[in-house]
Copies of this chain bind each other. A is one copy, B any other.
Amino acid sequence: MGKRVTIQDLAKELDTTPSTISRALHDHPGISKTMTKKVKELAKKRNYRVNSVASSLRAGKSKTIGVIVPMINRDFFANVISGIEDVAFQNGFNVIICQSDNKVEKEIQHINTLISSGVAGVLVSLGFDTTDYAPFNKISQLGIPLIFFDRAPEHEKSIKIVNNDKAGAYKAVKHLIEMGYQRIAHLCGPSNLPLYKERKEGYLDALRDAGLPVEERLIITHNLTREAGYNITKKLMKYKNPPDAIFSASDYSALGALLYLKEERIKVPEEVGIVGFSNEGFTKLTGPELSTVDQHGKEIGKYSAKVFFEEMASDVFIPRTIILDPKLIVRRSSLRNQKLSD
């Protein structure tokens, strides 16, 4: 259980002072070459490591980024975090992760501990039910860069990095229409979150542009789980005029839909087409593979981290929204016309 080596130990050993050691280690020009060299050698020899808690206290902030996501064990978020960590590492920063479980109280608690621990910045993807952004304002009020990704507040003046959900949804539904589907259902998420609202709008626009009627009974709000997808599809397929395609705001519920249809021997894509959203890892592995909309999570993570570093460097705050264009990925579940071999 060796004691940690401090700058003071080095100073004593070289018969000098902590300030000289500190400056030498930072290549301060006011320190002679010889001294700098001596210090660095001793530091290596004694295996000295800065106590960054101390420097953080001195500096008023630490080299740490806080990340708050609903849950870590989701392909998309795991990718985002991975991307964030990559960029943070390159810049010598650490990443603290917090999962909110979509619970507002947890978000608030995480915000508090992150502020407490002096993070240099916070990257957030909001939970389902978050409608009050005041807790987040505290972060910005303290001058800590705050960046939203994916699930961002709608009207707030803030920095957001989001997918163009509307465009993504539009592409998906347009594609279904082109494949000849006529009664396209939409499993949508809670509309207090802009991204779900936008996906719905993209869906509606695509229908309208194609001159197709909008049927309210085919638009169902749900919690984006596989189970919900399964149950809703069961309900939908019992309508007198059941849908012939499903566009879901989530791959998970799209998967639920697929599983129900397979169970009922309703052929996908021949009888019912499906397009999901997010390009979760499993979508290219289902039978048939799920068409979906790719959000390139890792890129969003990297991008968000980069924006954070930009923000930290500059001292003027400019609210802005960066919109990345998602990509429609067409797989078997929506390819009605072509016959792909099994």
Is A2 engaged at the interface, CB distance under 8 Å to the other chain? yes
Q: Which one of B47, B71, B79, B116 contacts A50 once the chains associate, using CB atoms below 8 Å? A: B116
- Cα distance A286–B286 in the bound complex, in angstroms: 5
Neighbour of A97 across the interface among B56, B73, B81, B138, CB < 8 A: B81
Interface with B: A87-95, A206-214, A233-241, which one? A87-95
The interface bits of chain A over 74-112 (1 if a CB of B lies within 8 angstroms of the residue's CB, else 0) are 110011011001100100101111110000001001101
The reply to whether A53 and B51 form a contact with Cβ atoms under 8 Å apart is no
Determine whether A142 belongs to the interface, using a CB cutoff of 8 Å to chain B.
yes
Shortest beta-carbon distance from A306 to chain B in Å: 18
**Contact assessment for A97 and B85 in the assembled complex, using a CB-CB cutoff below 8 Å:** yes
Tell me, yes or no, whether A255 is within 8 Å of chain B by CB: yes
Question: Which residues of A, 130-164, contact B by the 8 Å Cβ criterion?
Answer: 138, 141-143
- When all copies of this chain in the complex are counted, the total is 2
* Residues A7-66 near B (CB distance < 8 A): 47, 49-54, 56-57, 62, 64
A307 at the interface (CB under 8 A from B): no
A72 within 8 A of B: yes
Are A72 and B52 touching (Cβ within 8 A)?
no
Interface residues of A in 113-133 (CB under 8 A from B): 113-118
Residue on B nearest A116 in the bound complex, by CB: B52
Residue among A53, A74, A138, A255 with most chain B CB within 10 A:
A53
Residues on B with beta carbons closer than 8 Å to the beta carbon of A110: 89
CB distance from A1 to the nearest CB of B (A): 4
* Cross-chain contact of A282 among B52, B54, B98, B282 (Cβ < 8 A): B282
Tell me the bound Cα distance from A94 to B118 in angstroms: 12
Smallest CB separation, A157 vs chain B (Å): 15
**Residues of A within 8 Å of B, CB-based: how many?**
55
> Given A255-B285, A286-B285, are A72 and B62 also a contact pair (CB < 8 Å)?
no
A281–B252 CA distance with the chains assembled, in angstroms: 12
Does the CB pair A54–B51 fall under 8 Å?
Answer: no
A116 to B298, CA, bound (A): 27
A320 near B: Cβ within 8 Å? Answer: no
Q: Taking CB as reference atom, which chain B residue is nearest A317?
A: B1
- Give Cα A287 to B4, complex, Å: 55
Q: For the complex, what is the distance from the CA of A48 to the CA of B193, rounded to whole Å?
A: 31
Most buried by B among A82, A109, A255: A82
CB-CB nearest in chain B for A140: B1
Q: Which of B47, B54, B73, B96 contacts A57 (CB 8 A)?
A: B54
**Chain A 294-338 against B: per-residue CB contact (8 Å), 1 yes, 0 no?**
000110000000000000000000000000000000000000000
Task: Give the B-binding residues of A (Cβ under 8 A).
Answer: 1-2, 4, 47, 49-54, 56-57, 62, 64, 71-75, 78-79, 81-82, 85-86, 89, 92, 94-99, 106, 109-110, 112-118, 138, 141-143, 255, 281-282, 285-287, 297-298
